Amino acid sequence: MKRIEWDQYFMAQSFLLSLRSTCTRLMVGATIVRDKRIIAGGYNGSIAGGDHCIDKGCYVIDNHCQRTIHAEMNAIIQCAKFGVPTEGAEIYVTHFPCLQCSKAIIQAGIKVIHYAEDYKNSLYAIELFEQAGVKTAKVPFQANILDLRLQEKQSFVDHLLQQLKNNVSQEEFNKYKETADKLFTRNT
């Protein structure tokens, strides 16, 4: 059995955190890591005890939801609340940070940003990262690593495909195979 790579491990944590998001526009998760240890996590949602987008709708001004606190800010605030230093840490985020979160990440002393998906990447944020010596790295997330029964499912689908192969046209079989390959992100 092959162990999960560190970048995928921490990005998986961020995607799991994003499932707690209460924003209906975009689900984002963030994990702060220092010395290969998770020190904080956050997701975009409302203030503790406040109204949530899933309940009251997004409160949008200038194309930004005012009701939510971004995942990165929630993770940084969690560190501040519990006295955990972020100097020299890394952050794993499901989406490229917005400009305001980028500034907070720099001010928190975080030195590396790993993100899975581009999202309105601000050229000014990129410039600020360069000025501050903060590295950014795109880490495409392999979502199937979260499926603990992936191999079992792949074997089952492969078995079904073999059963179908002699009972449908080649064109129809190719469509099924293509769909299976997309589901399991196989390049065979």
Tens-digit pLDDT profile for residues 84-134? 999 999 999 999 999 999 999 999 999 999 999 999 999 999 999 999 999
What pLDDT sits at residue 187?
A: 43
Grouping H, G, I as helix, E, B as strand and the rest as coil, residue 179 is helix
DSSP 113: E
Note if 87 is an active site residue: no
What pLDDT sits at residue 181?
A: 83
Please compute Rg for the chain using Cα positions.
20
Task: Enter the pTM of the model.
Answer: 0.82
DSSP 44: S
For residue 33, the cross-strand partners are 38, 90
Report d(CA 39, CA 188) in Å as an integer. 39
What is the SS3 assignment for 145-175? Answer: HHCCCHHHHHHHHHHHHHHHHCCCCHHHHHH
Catalytic entry in 72, 117, 130, 152:
72
Read off the pLDDT of residues 14-65 as tens digits, 9 standing for 90 and up. Answer: 999 999 999 989 999 999 999 999 999 999 999 999 999 999 999 999 888 8
